[in-house]
Structure 1
Amino acid sequence: MEPTEPEGGEPACFLNLVCEECGKVRENGRCPLCDPPAAPASDAPAGAVRTED
């Protein structure tokens, strides 16, 4: 007797892992294409203007 259902899970189970913008699968909650890595924090206070000497 052959199985009546195809192997694998429901494709909709993974829908929350797909980026709405580009369709790639998110890694650790972030899209590798649409969500650029966060910029490293600087030592300067927020709103500070950098001047060159």
Structure 2
Amino acid sequence: MRGRAATGGERSRLWARWREIDAKLDAYAALRSSETAVVVLESIPGASETLRGG
């Protein structure tokens, strides 16, 4: 897996979805002095075969 920060419209869309799951999300985020990162995890093609020894 590889992680990357969501930006722009993708971040907005994911944040809105996250807010549907956690109604207190914006209140928690307001406690931070900087923007809360939204991290997207992506699989790396071929990585699972390498880990399995294939």
Give the TM-score taking structure 1 as reference length. 0.22
- Please state which structure has a larger fraction of its residues in strand: 2
Larger Rg: 1
- The structure, 1 or 2, with the larger RCO (C-alpha pairs under 8 Å, 6+ apart) is 2
Give the TM-score taking structure 2 as reference length. 0.22
